[in-house]
A = this chain, B = another copy of it.
Amino acid sequence: MARELQKRPSTAYDVARLAGVSQATVSRAFTPGASISPRTLAKVTSAAEALGYRPNLIARSLITRRSNIVGLAMAHMDNAFYAMLLSALNDHFAQVGRRLLLFAGNPRGESDPMLSEILKYQVDAIILASTTLSSSLARDCHKAGIPVVLINRAAAANGVSAITGDNIVGARAIADYLLRGGHERLAFVAGLENSSTSQEREQAFIDRVVAKGMARPQRTVGHYRADATREAVRHLLGARERPDAIFCANDLMAFAAIEVARFEFGLEVGKDISVIGFDDVAAASLPTWSLTTYSQPADAMARAAVRIIESGETTGQTQRVPGRLQVRGSARRPLT
């Protein structure tokens, strides 16, 4: 069928004859991840090259029902954490012979009607990073047996898996570290109000501080954006009772907070004021920022997504990938 439509000069049959193998072997040679000996693979590859044969994976996907394409919707690609995550997903899926088809995520984090378009491409699975999906799309995917994995959003719907960093353990570790450092007036800068990631970090941080008998931290909102964070931090630092420590829900906002403290208020970060982030993007370790932060390992999260999808499971599971507190210079260290 594919042959008739394609009108390609050479077929798998021709390749099999020239290589002296069966058609099934030719098929395996062109199926990423299929089992075949290196010697046989070499025979098939050189026969295919001699004949100018190229398998049409798209046509084949109609028969095998496996397109080897994974749909990925991602918002906030300009945030270094998501750029790192995208690169890691791309690498790890390539290793199992799968490719990413990109869809735009809604930067406000709401489910996007455009996402339903993903299903039209007969993808093997769907990953949504920092964006959610409507319950009707989740239902459609479940019915079609297509695994759905959310990254950095909690799974609300049935059969949807979720991978997050360890928001709760991380936010508690940050609270403990700041309190041990003798800070007394804490503040939290939230990301998007409707993001489960920001909500978890805020709740765990505030609960821990209150549980330790300290004053409830102030809170303000940076919407995961640099401009909104600068505005929010200006208000915090301009107030009469200025906080002595600020925990920002991600590194991007922590960098913005550091700049406002340094350039607009002339404060020495790590001495006059402490700033802590969450993510541990590459820039966090630069001397310029020397950002104390809780790591969210993009590579491990990408590997977890690949594992869930390769298992073919669609019952839905939640995985928290552990991180650790990266102690650097942006927050005053405890004396002991």
What is the distance, in angstroms, from A271's C-beta to the closest C-beta of chain B? Answer: 17
Contact call A2/B62, Cβ cutoff below 8 A: yes
Q: Which residues of B contact A103 (CB under 8 A)?
A: 94, 99
Contact call A54/B287, Cβ cutoff below 8 A: no
Q: Mark A39-64, 1 if CB is under 8 A from B, else 0.
A: 00000000000000011111101110
**Minimal Cβ-Cβ distance residue in B for A77:** B87
Binding site for B on A (CB under 8 A): 1-2, 5-6, 30, 54-59, 61-63, 67, 69, 77-78, 80, 83-84, 86-87, 90-91, 94, 99-104, 114, 119-122, 140, 255, 259, 262-263, 282, 286-288
* 23 A-B pairs (CB sep. < 8 Å): A2-B62, A5-B63, A30-B120, A56-B120, A56-B122, A57-B120, A58-B61, A58-B62, A58-B67, A58-B122, A62-B62, A77-B90, A83-B83, A94-B103, A94-B114, A99-B102, A99-B103, A99-B121, A100-B102, A102-B102, A255-B286, A262-B287, A288-B288
Contact call A62/B99, Cβ cutoff below 8 A: no
What is the distance, in angstroms, from A253's C-beta to the closest C-beta of chain B? Answer: 13
What separation, in Å, do the CA atoms of A90 and B122 have in the docked complex?
19
The 3 closest A-B pairs by CB, nearest first: A83-B83, A77-B87, A57-B120
Contact call B62/A5, Cβ cutoff below 8 A: yes
